[in-house]
Amino acid sequence: MEKTWRWFGKKDNIKLNMLRQIGVQGIVSALHDIPNGEIWPLEAINEYKEYIESFGLRWSVVESLAVSESIKYGGEDRDHLIANYIISLGNLGKAGVKTVCYNFMPVLDWARTDLYHKWEDGSSSLYFDKAKFAYFEIHILEREGAEKEYSSEILDKVRELKNTLTDKDNNDLIDSVIVKTQGFVNGNIKEDDQNPVAIFKKLLLLYDGIGKDQLRENMKYFLEKIMPVCEEYNIQMCVHPDDPPFSLLGLPRIITCEEDIDWFLNAVDNPHNGLTFCTGSLSAGLQNDVPKLAQKYASRTKFVHLRSTNVFPNGDFIEANHLEGRGKIVEIVRIFEKENPDLPMRIDHGKLLTDDIDKGYNPGYSFLGRMLALGQIEGVMASVQMELEKK
Ligand code: DNO
């Protein structure tokens, strides 16, 4: 697989010359300065691409060309926004950047409650604490009916949290769930937004009455409209699975498991309608057997994210070391090296290790933590390739 790396543009504290030195071949990035829903001009795309190429790298994958909320909930201006999306895809096609990752998650792109969950050795990873999330929903967002969605064990813990968390803890939780994790992924909330909770509540209202079937219909509508431009320029669209792969905040989620993946691949059965195989997101759902899914969807997979998780009996999950946990990455590398060795692959989140701390990296996107994982995966790739040559 092609070794790629998610890079957040010139403002990223990780510079392209650093990536060259650690064996990265391709860059995964987006025009992060352009607001969601606006057109990506051809000139800006070409300029960004040439900048990346001046470091001996290539712009392999766009992550993400974000899908506006209105396209997801089916707002009045969705056709206008889809028309803009099509122009951006055409411009990417003209520039020769042909793999495009996006997601179809309502409001929250991805969710974690702790961005610095400490391991015994002092390193840290991202963590999802189910009770804390329930507390956030019930006492910070005050979402009507939220209590009904949790077990009595979780509600007991929520009561405990209510008595112990301070104002600072509450602000940190808001920061983790809706500001820091969303801000840098072209999300709805920006780091300098004044009242993120109020903005967030408004966004949730947009989905009032939208269930799973309606969201599916809206995704199908979007995909059908964009397929012609993808065919014209040979663009591979690859949807990112929902992270985590279960419903949150009463919002529907539609890319969570085998049945969902079957649904969207069949709903628009076109080779340009593909999947980003994210072992991290999929492994956080106990319903998913990750290697089984990789084998089944290898031919419709256009991009691979490698990361792993461990899920605990109380419903929490942690981002694990890459070669451990439910992601079964050795097995996954074996499957994709065999079925589709040219696929772009990026190491997804890494731990915060030693010198990573205090560098201001985006949550999950450390330098040393991801570099360590890249080294590990390179080793796995080399041995799998030898194994396959012998056969
Ligand atoms: C977080 C990522 C997401 C994902 C995008 C894809 O680190 O898993 O931001 O890349 O949702 O559209």
Residues 6 or more apart from 133 whose CB is under 8 A from it?
111, 113, 177, 248
Handedness of CA 159, 161, 165, 167 (dihedral sign): negative
Residues 225 and 364 in one domain: yes
Query: Each residue of 120-172: pLDDT tens digit?
Result: 999 999 999 999 999 999 999 999 999 999 999 999 999 999 999 999 999 99
What are the Cα distances from residue 8, in Å, to 2, 30, 65, 261, 334? Answer: 19, 7, 13, 28, 29
pLDDT in tens, 249-306: 999 999 999 999 999 999 999 999 999 999 999 999 999 999 999 999 999 999 999 9
| Count of domains observed in the chain | 2
Q: Yes or no: say if 340 and 236 are a contact pair by the CB < 8 Å rule.
A: no
Please report, in angstroms and rounded to a whole number, the separation of the first and last CA atoms in the chain.
19
Task: Please tell me whether residues 31 and 163 are part of one structural domain.
Answer: no
Tokens of 384: 């799998």
Q: What pLDDT, on the 0 to 100 scale, is given for residue 188?
A: 80
Q: In terms of domains, do 231 and 187 share one?
A: no
Whether pLDDT at 194 is above 90 = no
- Assess whether the C-beta atom of 102 lies below 6 angstroms from ligand 1: yes
Of the residues 243, 322, 349, 361, which is catalytic?
349
Average pLDDT, the chain: 96
Name the pTM for this structure. 0.97
Closest CA to ligand 1's atom 12:
102
User: Does 116 map to a domain?
Assistant: no
State residue 70's pLDDT score: 96
Say how far apart CA 145 and CA 91 lie, in whole Å: 45
Domain termination site, one of 154, 184, 205:
205
CA 239 / ligand 1 centre spacing (Å)? 10
C-beta 242 within 6 A of ligand 1: no
Give the residue whose CA is nearest to atom 10 of ligand 1: 63
Tell me how many helices (H) and strands (E) the chain has: 15, 12
Paired tokens of 146: 């939220």
263 and 357, same domain (yes or no)? yes
My answer on whether 193 and 251 are in the same domain is no
Residue with tokens 């991202």: 126
Cβ atoms < 10 Å from Cβ of 207: 19
Residue 273 in domain? yes
pLDDT band at 391 (very low <50, low <70, confident <90, very high): confident
Same domain for 327 and 274: yes
| Pair 52, 200 in one domain | no
In sequence order, what DSSP letters do the residues of 64-76 get, joined into one string? --PPPHHHHHT-T
Judge whether 230 counts as a catalytic residue: no
In the predicted model, is pLDDT for residue 186 greater than 80?
A: no
Tell me the pLDDT band of 184, cut-offs 50, 70 and 90. confident
Same domain flag for 342 and 262: yes
User: Parallel, antiparallel, or unpaired: how do β-strands 124-128 and 317-320 relate?
Assistant: antiparallel
Does 32 qualify as catalytic in the annotation? no
**Catalytic residue status for 116:** no
Give residue 131 CA to ligand 1 midpoint distance, Å.
23
Q: Has residue 271 been placed in a domain?
A: yes
Rounded to an integer, the average pLDDT of 190-201 is 85
Report how far residue 89's alpha carbon sits from residue 67's, in angstroms, rounded to the nearest whole number. Answer: 12
Residues 320 and 374 in one domain: yes
Structure tokens at 262: 């079957």
* In contact, 316 and 133? CB cutoff 8 Å: no
The answer to whether the CB of 184 is under 6 A from ligand 1 is no
In a domain, 381, yes or no: yes
Amino acid at 286: L
Residue 339 shares a structural domain with residue 219: yes
Domain boundary (145, 172, 205) is at 205
State yes or no: is 240 an active-site residue: yes
- Per annotation, catalytic residue among 117, 272, 305, 322: 305
3-state secondary structure of 290: helix
Q: Ligand 1: does its nearest atom lie under 6 Å from the Cβ of 64? A: yes
Establish whether residue 240 lines the binding site of ligand 1, counting it when its CB lies within 6 angstroms of any ligand atom: yes
**Pair 348, 243 in one domain:** yes
- Flag whether 123 is in a domain: no
Residue 118 inside a domain? The answer is no
What mean pLDDT comes out for the span 303-321? 97
**Ligand 1 centre from 110 Cα, in Å?**
7
Q: Which of 114, 243, 348, 356 is catalytic?
A: 348
Helix, strand, coil percentages for the chain (3-state, nearest 5)? 45, 15, 40
Known catalytic residue at 272: no
How far apart, in whole angstroms, are the C-alpha atoms of residue 126 and residue 108?
16
In a shared domain, residues 349 and 244 = yes
Q: What is the pLDDT of residue 189?
A: 79
Candidates 117, 240, 272, 322; catalytic one: 240
Q: Which structural domain range is residue 261 located in? A: 2-110+211-390
Residue 238 Cβ inside 6 Å of ligand 1? The answer reads no
| Residue 121 located in a structural domain | no
> Do 356 and 366 meet the contact criterion of CB atoms below 8 Å apart?
yes
pLDDT at 193 over 80: no
Q: Is 319 in the pocket of ligand 1 (CB under 6 A)?
A: no
Examine residue 246 and state whether it is found in any structural domain, yes or no.
yes
Among 179, 205, 231, the domain boundary falls at 205
Provide the CATH number for the domain around residue 362.
Answer: 3.20.20.150
350 burial (CB, 10 Å; 0-12 / 13-18 / 19+) is buried
| Known catalytic membership, residue 139 | no
Taking the CA of residue 243 as centre, how many other CA atoms within 13 Å lie in the half-sphere pointing to its CB? 29
Residue 14 has pLDDT above 90, yes or no: yes
